[in-house]
Chains A and B, each alone.
Chain A
Amino acid sequence: MASGFIEADVSSTVTLDDMGGAGGSAMANFWGIITLTTHKTVGTKMDFPTAGVRWSHIEIILDVGASAFTSVTAEVRVFFSWDSAGNDICAGPSAATLLVPGQGDGTRAMTTIKLDIVPSLPPDGAANTVYCWISGWGIGTDTPELKRARLHWHDLG
């Protein structure tokens, strides 16, 4: 029995696609893609179980730079897909979730989002890879830098 996480590789700068973040107060149809996978050099290094696994939650940290991050109202939503094209949904879309500013680094906008689901890898999925799509508003930029995305899991034994 094991637990761990898969995560985005941010060893080099990852700038998200247009996620609509500069918009002030409402969701638009813009979603940036984040590839989550098992890393052999960082993270837990454990393979992501294909079945008998609970997806607990995801940690997300964005770097919004010097943009006008609205810490009171900035929110994001996420959904997950088996495929990189974003046609085969496997989780979400989540409810809108508040972003909080980094307390030491004010350019950070961060949140966690609960999933609490138990999927099994289907034929249209790939081992160790899931795609997270993120949309937001009040962030001050359409294309923030991704600093962290970790999907925590544990097997069900």
Chain B
Amino acid sequence: MASGFVEASSVTLGTIHTSTGLTSYDGVWGGNAGTTNGVNLTQSSSLGSSIALPSGGVRWSHLELILQDNATTNPIDHNVKVFLSWDITGDDICGGPSDAANMVLCRGTSHGSNCFMVAIDLDMQPAIPEDGTTNEVYLWIAGTGFNDNTPVLKRARLYWHEIF
């Protein structure tokens, strides 16, 4: 039985809330620097896990997320919700939306300054449907408390393991 993760490389997100520092969820979700393009989580042959995401008989365990804001104002008030879609345009949901998860300020600067991090539980067992693509899942993020409403995604890893 195998385990691994699919992940995204560094990318600037689309708008994750409508105004800077907004403290309540407003229904705006950001993908890959646009409103109709999710962040692609995929098998990487050059970094991270090089094992393909199984199409069935697999548990999606959790998601690691590291985002870079442009300031550390409100260091304890950065919250995110996430959902996952089978398709890049974000019309075919496959996971979430999660509850709001509180992020912690990274203790060092290995990802750069003003970075916040969280791990979000998924614990689900999807079987890839016709509208899904092998090794491809798309991530969408809504946030509150950010000083920059288009933060940089420094890391997103979806961990999985086979269940048979």
Name A's B-contacting residues (CB within 8 A). 1-5, 42-44, 54, 56-57, 59-61, 70-72, 97-98, 100-105, 108, 110-112, 114, 116, 148, 150, 152-154, 157
Contacts and interface: CB of A to CB of B under 8 A. Distances in A.
B127 A108 contact: no
A105 B93 CA distance: 12
B163 A116 contact: no
B163 to A, nearest CB: 6
Q: How large is the interface on B (under 10, 10 to 19, 20 to 34, 35 or more residues)?
A: 20 to 34
Interface string B126-151: 11011000000000100000000000
B112 interface: no
Contact of B123 (A100, A101, A116, A153): A116
B91 A105 contact: yes
A105 B96 CA distance: 18
Nearest to A72: B27
B47 to A, nearest CB: 27
A56 B91 contact: no
B27 A61 contact: no
Contacts of B56: 2-4, 154
B25 to A, nearest CB: 6
A1 B93 contact: no
Contacts of A153: 125
